[in-house]
Structure 1
Amino acid sequence: MGSLFARVARRASAAHIRHVARVAPGSETGLVAEVYQQMEADFGMVAPPIGLHAPAPAALAASWLMLRESLLAGGVVDRSVKEAVAAAVSVANRCPYCVEVHGAAMAGLSSGADADAIVAGRFDAVADPRVRELAHWAWASGRPEAGGRPVPFPAEQAPEVIGVVVTFHYLNRMVSLFLTESPLPPVPAPALGMVRRGARFVMGTLARRRPTPGTSLELLPDAPLPPDLCWAAGRPPVAAAFARAAAAVEHGAHGAVTAEVRGLVLGALARRVGVEPGLGAPAWLAEAVATVPANDRPAARLGLLTAFAPYRVTGELVDQVRGDLDEAGLIRLTSWASLAAARAIGARLWPVESAPPAGRHI
């Protein structure tokens, strides 16, 4: 699959993006062009969950670094296992787009039956005991009771496994806001099975690539690893990717996230994490934003919904926020809220005082 496939895929995938302008194929410049070129070289196409960030180039690079170094790059955890983790997190977050994509990638690499079970949320039906345990754990990773529980993998695998979990808690939120519900073309129901088989072949082929770890790091400046990302410390390319991504997203939030909105979202995340069906209901949301100035409330609503119930975000709310922010600001606000939620989840999965040892393949 060469450049022709990448060009065709870029045009097709741009149609999945909503609420922000699509970057016309061939019109990319600067950092956006660099990220797109590397993504096509390492992944075979511009993935829409990454491409949606293009109005804010640093957020685009940040999302690519996290995805590439945790999921795509060669490491100590098999790619099919990481795809299972990605799909299970996406099931928990009600992100059908990511469930479809990463279920297809897993099926293209390994057992289609196990992939079907994970996509359906039937984790007990997964035949591989290791994958079954990891899928259960990944699905529950955003729930309050996940904090402090033993993890079902050796410490040296934590940077990649938790990295995938954090990346998909981040991407699921952004995808729910900015992409269509399904990556598949609209076809009659009898043809859906054939389309899915084709998707599994394509995604399985793309997922067999093993990019060299660390080559994405040059896209963003060096940054120290924050304490809440200590789970990444045992694998330097993963640690550097998340440190740089976190710094870029935090820097981008300046001007897009007011101190009041930041305090509200971080305060809520200190009390709870994860996507919760009850959160985001009108009564809860109205009470939650009542403490911030009136002109900050649309952004506060969007920040809270992004963190806790992204599937409840409406086009009307996005339009209200865009009255104050341009498209770049909209991406910066939502990427900050998404990463804040994902980081809070990751921090609960691995104690801050622990740092995984350097990994070896198992």
Structure 2
Amino acid sequence: MTGPFRYTSPEPPQSATGEVADVYTQLAADFGIRNASTFVVLSASPPLLTATWALMRESLLAGRASRTGKELVAAGVSLANRCPFCATAHAVLLHATGDHRLAETVLRGDEPEDPGERGLLAWGKDMSGPPPFPAHEADEYVGTALAFHFINRVVSSLLSEQMLPGGVEKYRLVRSTAGRSLAATVRRDLTPGTSLPLLGTAGEPPAWAAEGPVGTAYGALRTAAHQGAGLLSTRDAAFVRESVAGWDGVTPLPLSAPLPERADRPGARLALLAARAPYRITDEDVAAWRVPPSTDHCLVHLVAFGAILAVERVEALLRTPAGELS
């Protein structure tokens, strides 16, 4: 396929079978975009694809918490992670909810006028502070935020910054029109848990979502993404883990920060960048690691390993609505 894919060549969605085809069907029905490149890029690994889709669906799309509120959190995460593709996508989805002025305010980098909306956007940018939502909605808001900490890193690593062909998403009229086309889908009430039968992995649910479909999906994603550690030597996997563990969960990787040499430790370099600065991944970084027999499947798993380490680091800094560490 041509288009937004920088380093992989996914199979055309119309030729998909099995759980991959089932995800595309659910995408069309529940998300309104059958061939969303955010998910197509993961199709080389059905367990990663199904778990990523399940976490996003069960946290952002389904449930009872405000869709506008969750889109604000997702936008805050995407802005903090310097992911223009995802930030624009959330602006489009805010247009779909009918919050047209808010969509453009957020995309410009301005603060919403409403204190509640301002608090949700700010929490998405830095999740170490007190959560601005009630405890009974924590699984949806936290799940949404962590889903996009993962998705942002996949997108920044493997896709171009253009959300639409020709970059036409830069025009407000295009964003608004795209959002209006999704309005009916965005405003539907979805049955929680529908994505879970597609999962190819399982894992322990987190404390912030010990019960329910969000926790199940998150556990599955952690299991699938950690499989990428097997693509690195024990030494390199430990190095990446230690580097991410020492990160504060917010501050971008300094340009002066030492990185593993591309020629000697390309896998460690790529995984670390995927975790802490995916927008800095270059063609040379990928080419240095991706030599035969590495495949699309290997590349998405290596990126996913770095991404899930970053997600877990952010998760470790979370506070519950009561103000205690989760």
1:341 maps to 310
2:219 aligned with 1:240? no
1:270-294 CA deviation, whole Å, 9 max, x = no partner? Answer: 2114464443x3x5233xx37xx97
Residue of structure 1 equivalent to 2:77: 89
TM-score (norm 1): 0.82
* C-alpha distance in structure 1 between counterparts of 2:140 and 2:325, whole Å: 13
Change in 2 beyond 3 A, CA 1:132/1:187? closer
Superposition map of 1:266-277 within 5 A: 266-274=241-249, 276-277=251-252
**Other structure's SS at 1:255 match:** helix
DSSP 3-state at the match of 1:285? coil
Can you list the C-alpha shifts for 1:47-86, whole angstroms capped at 9, x where unaligned?
Answer: 211111011111111111111111111x131111111111
Give 1:224 shift: 4.1
Q: 1:36 to 1:187 in 2, by over 3 A?
A: closer
Q: Which residue of 1 aligns with 2:185?
A: 206
Report the CA distance between 1:300 and its aligned residue: 0.6
* Counterpart amino acid of residue 28 in structure 1: A
Deviation of 1:247 (Å)? 1.5
Instruction: Report the CA distance between 1:96 and its aligned residue.
Output: 0.6
Gaps of 5+ in 2: none
Instruction: Note if 1:312 corresponds to 2:298.
Output: no
Partner of 1:54: 43
1:254 Cα deviation (Å)?
5.2
Tell me the distance in 2 between the aligned counterparts of 1:317 and 1:18: 12
Do 2:75 and 2:87's aligned partners in 1 also have CA atoms closer than 8 Å?
Answer: yes
CA contact (8 A) 1:275 1:308 kept: no
CA distance in 1, matches of 2:49, 2:183: 24
Q: Counterparts of 1:257 and 1:31 in 2: how far apart (Å)?
A: 28
Alpha-carbon distance between aligned partners in 1 of 2:240 and 2:77, rounded to the nearest angstrom? 22
User: What whole-Å deviation, never above 9, does each CA across 1:168-198 have from its counterpart, x for those lacking one?
Assistant: 1111111011112121332789x92332221
Cα distance in 2, alignment partners of residues 272 and 239 from structure 1: 25
- Residue 208 of structure 2 corresponds to 231
Q: What are the superposed Cα offsets for residues 229-255 of structure 1, whole Å, 9 maximum, x if unpaired? A: 31122x5111111112212222x3253
Deviation per residue, 1:17-40 (Å, 9 max, x gap)? 221002223211233222222222
Structure-2-length-normalised TM-score: 0.90
Q: 1:327 to 1:224 in 2, by over 3 A?
A: closer
The one-letter amino acid of 2:304's match is: S
| Identity over aligned pairs, percent | 36
Aligned to 1:110: 98
1:267 CA drift (Å): 0.6
Cα distance 1:179–1:61, how it changes in 2: closer, same or farther (>3 A)?
same
**Shift in alpha-carbon separation, 1:326–1:187, aligned structure 2, 3 A:** closer
Match of 1:219 among 198, 202, 221: 198
1:216 maps to amino acid: S
Q: Is the 8 A contact 1:106 1:115 kept in 2?
A: yes
Taking a change above 3 Å as real, the CA distance of residues 275 and 312 of structure 1, as seen in their structure-2 partners, is farther
The letter for the 1-side match of 2:244 is L
**Structure 1 residues 115, 267: CA separation in 2 closer, same or farther (over 3 Å shift)?**
same
Distance 2:220 2:325 in 1: 18
SS at match of 2:13: coil
Report how far residue 104 of structure 1 moved. 1.2
1:24-103 aligned at under 5 Å gives the runs 24-44=12-32, 45-73=34-62, 75-103=63-91
Q: Which residue of 2 aligns with 1:181?
A: 161
The SS at the match of 1:186 is helix
Counterpart residue type for residue 156 of structure 1: H
Q: Distance in 2 between matches of 1:106 and 1:188?
A: 18
Aligned match of 2:175 in 172, 193, 196?
196
Given residue 150 of structure 1, which amino acid in structure 2 is its aligned partner? Answer: P
How many residues get paired? 322
The amino acid across from 1:53 in the alignment is L
* Pairing 1:279-358 to 2, within 5 Å after superposition: 279=254, 281=255, 283-286=256-259, 289=260, 295=264, 297-323=265-291, 325-350=294-319
The question of 1:136 aligning with 2:122 is answered yes
Question: What are the Cα deviations for residues 96-144 of structure 1, in whole angstroms up to 9, with x where unaligned?
Answer: 1111111111122132222222112212xx1222111111111123xxx
